[in-house]
Amino acid sequence: MNNKPNNTNYKRKAGTSINTFTLNNKTYSIRLSSHAKQRLQQRNIDLYQVTGSILSLGEKTITEYSGSNRDIFIQDKQNNFSIVCNITNRTITIVTVIDNCDCWIKNGTIAVQLT
C-alpha cells in the first residue's frame, strides 16, 4: 500500500534555478528538479520549449494556481510533451517531463491543455 500523501503535501527539493520573470511587480522563478533534468536529457526534450509552455499558461493561470499546493499537469500537444510542475508562492518547480500527451493524470492534479 502506498502511504505517501495524495499529492504534494510533502516537501520537494527546490532544484536548480533556470529562469525568472515578473508578473504584476512580483518576481517568479522557474526551477528544475534533478529528476526533471534527467528526464529532459533521456527524452531529448528542449528546456526552452518546456519553459515556454509554462509561460504560455499566462498571468491569470499562474497567479490563480500560485500557492495551491497541487501539481499542475501541462499537456503541450503542439510539441508532444507534458510537464508536471508545482507553483509554491512565486516558485515554479518542474517536477518531471513526459515525452507524450496521452498520460494518466493523478487524482488531485490540475490538468491544463495548451491550445
Q: pLDDT tens-digit profile of 84-107?
A: 999 988 999 999 999 999 889 999
Q: pLDDT tens-digit profile of 50-66?
A: 999 999 999 999 999 99
CA 83, 34, 99, 3: dihedral to nearest 10 degrees? -70
Residue 35 in grid coordinates: 529528476
Rounded average pLDDT over 2-18: 57
* 2 pLDDT higher than 50: no
What residue ranges do the domains of the chain occupy?
16-114
* 41 pLDDT higher than 70: yes
| Radius of gyration (C-alpha) of the chain in whole angstroms | 13
Rounded average pLDDT over 33-40: 95
Kindly indicate whether the domain formed by 16-114 is annotated with CATH number 3.40.50: no
CB 65 within 8 A of CB 58: no
Identify the pLDDT of residue 69. Answer: 85
Mean of all residue pLDDT scores within the chain: 88
CA angle at 76 for the pair 71 and 78, rounded to the nearest 5°: 180
* 14 pLDDT higher than 70: no
Rounded average pLDDT over 13-38: 91
Which of 9-23, 24-38, 55-69 has the weakest average pLDDT? 9-23
